[in-house]
Every structure is written in structure tokens, then in C-alpha cells.
Structure 1
Amino acid sequence: MKPVLVVMGVSGSGKSTVGAAIAQRLRVPFADADDFHPPANIKKMSAGIPLDDHDRHPWLEAIGEWLAAHPNGAVISCSALKRKYRDQLRHHAHQVTFLHLAGSREVIARRQASRPGHFMPSSLLTSQFKTLEPLEPDERGTTIDVDQDVDAIVQEYVDAVAHDVG
């Protein structure tokens, strides 16, 4: 059975790149949660203003609906920074698991600097780290350090999933 996976983490952690690579490896659909943001959210973030829970709610609902529409396997990149956001996604797709791409502020800032033109400015990185609630022991998922290349992260994830299944 293929996973319904949310690749989570702060902006710049590599969610989209890793998520797309995992989806390709598992041969399942991939989506980027950034594509689900309404224009008002993008405008707010582009102005350097962090989203609040009110802004995030309809966005997370759309992501949860997408996950629910792919019960036979899918991968989406989504920050999912708080437990309650992950709970909202689980409400739609009970079988969802999470891959938390974790790294130090320095590593993430270096990664963010290499992607100019993204609507999430690096100035919001501090608010992302303040908001982040790592996976709790009762949440299905795994955490992988992002300070390695994409292929190593994908392999570590595949190995972890194979271990959990086997």
C-alpha cells in the first residue's frame, strides 16, 4: 500500500523538492500546497506578513480534500507547522503520514537564499520556527535532517517506511 504523505517543515526546508522526488520514486501523484493558497494569502506573505490560523483554515481544508481524493497514495508538500493543522489534514485523510524535514535555522536560511523570487520572504523564517510544533510521538510519521542531498533524504524515507511496514 502506497502512503498518503505530507512532507512538512518550515519554508526553505526542501518540502517541494523532496516531496516531488518521493512521489516520483513511489509513482504516486504529487502536489505543492503553495498552489492551494488563495491570492490573498500570497499577497500577505509577499508583504512579509505571517499568515494566521484564520488565513490557513480554508487552505488546509483544500489540502485535506486533495489528500482524501488520493487514498491509494499521494504526496503533498505542506508546512503543517502546528499539530492542529496536521489534525485538520487527518480529519480529511485518516491514513495520512508525515515526513518532517528538520534543520537548523542556519541551514534553512542558506537554502532559502538559494531560491530568489519565492513569495515567502526569508524575513518570515523566524515566525515559521516559532510556529513549528515537531511531530509528537502519537503522530504517524518520521523526521529527517535536511542537511544532506535530496537522494539521501528520499532513500532514508523509503528505508524508514520499509522498516515500519516490515
Structure 2
Amino acid sequence: MQTPSSSRARPDEGLAIVTMGVSGCGKSTLGALLARRLGCAFLEGDAFHDETAVAKMRAGRPLTDEDRWPWLDRLGLAIKEALASEGQAVAACSALRLKYRERLRAAIGAPVRFVLLEASREELLKRMTERPDHYMPVSLLDSQLATLERPAAEEQVFALDALISPDQLCDSVESWLSDQPLPADALASGH
């Protein structure tokens, strides 16, 4: 029988953490910092887009589900491999819709916790204009905001204000992770 403490999701128990949200919310900054703190791999979701998808976004055209499926599968597999070799991993991925989060969970095949960073449209626009070398144009922000499906309570996604400092965000995420029970399927499989 599991004791309450043994069923908690701690970063050392084979856990994937995905920082998520629309472009400009700070998911990569938080993800990289969190991975450094946890001493694990950080996977930048943008690096897993193929050249066709990057060119499409650079041209100001939003991605379709058909564009996203192979990307999510590549990222999910990379996270799974990082978990197999290191036991934990942090990734940054927009994960805007429930079905995208489900696709990632299925590809990873281990416990996953999502952390959503939220900010006003004005703040996001400001941040996006301050990173001119990124392929994601400001013109796609409204498309991303329209696509975002705010996670329902049963998803157990931790939502945070993106205006909080990255160090404080990390503190909050680490505290939240230490209090999270593992999903029933992870307990049954021994994760």
C-alpha cells in the first residue's frame, strides 16, 4: 500500500515538467531556470519544429493541427528519452489545446505536470517585440490567444502570473511539485 508521502510527485521520481503558454509568456526562461535548479535536461520545444513549420510561422501563417502533430511527437519522444536517461526533464512547449497536452502525455508515457504562464495581451506584445530574432512574429499572437484552451481543474495545471520574477516562479513551481500526487496510472506502473 502507498503511503501519502510515497505517492507524491517529486522531481526525482521520473517526472516531466512542461512550461506552457502563448509566445512571449516566458515559458523558455522559466523552463531553463527550473531545469538548472533541478539538475536535469531542458528541452526547448521551438527546436523541435521542422523547417516547413518555422517558415510558415515566419511568414505569419498559424500552424494547423497537422503541422503540430509531428512536432509534438518529436518533442514527446525527446522528453521520454531524457526521462529514461536522467529520470526527469523540463520542456517548454506552447501546448495550447487539451488535445496537444494529451498528445504530449501519450508520447512521454510518464507522469507530466504542466505549468501555465499567463500575461496580458499588452505584456505579451511588449515581450515579443523585444526579441526581434525569434521566428514567431507578433502578428501571430492573437491566433495563439484564440487557440489557447485554458486547462480545466481536472488537468491539475499550475497557472502562474508571468509578471512574477523567474526565481519566484521557480520557487512556486518547486513547492507545487512537492505537493502533487502522482496519477493513479503512474502508481500502478510503479513510476
Task: Please indicate the TM-score interval, normalised by the length of the shorter structure.
Answer: over 0.9
2:49 pairs with 37, 40, 44, which one? Answer: 37
Q: Structure 2 stretches of 5 or more lacking a match?
A: 1-9, 182-191
Question: Match of 2:168, as an amino acid?
Answer: A
Matched residues in 1 for 2:127 and 2:176: separation? 25
Task: Return the offset for 1:163.
Answer: 3.2
Match of 1:86 in 2: 101
Give SS of 2:72's match. helix
Contact 2:43/2:79 (CA < 8 Å) preserved in 1? no
For the pair 1:123 / 2:139, whether they are aligned, the reply is yes
1:49 aligns with 2:61: yes
Q: If the length of structure 1 is used for normalisation, what is the TM-score?
A: 0.95
Q: TM-score, normalised by structure 2?
A: 0.83
Taking only the aligned residue pairs, the percentage that are identical comes to: 40
**8 Å contact 1:101–1:144 — kept in the other structure?**
yes
- Which residue, out of 155, 163, 167, partners 1:147? 163
Any unmatched runs of 5+ in structure 1? Answer: none
What is the deviation of 1:114? 1.3
Q: Which amino acid aligns with 1:162?
A: S
Q: Which residue of 2 aligns with 1:22?
A: 34
Matched, 1:105 2:121: yes
Following TM superposition, by how much is the alpha carbon of 1:164 offset from its aligned partner in structure 2, in angstroms? 3.0
Across the two proteins, how many residue pairs are aligned to each other? 165
Residue type matched to 1:134 in 2? R
Task: Note the alpha carbon deviations across 1:68-101, whole angstroms, 9 max, x for none.
Answer: 2133110010000000000001112241110101
Q: After the TM superposition, which parts of structure 1 deviate over 3 Å for at least 4 consecutive aligned residues? A: none
Q: What residue in structure 1 maps to residue 188 of structure 2? A: none
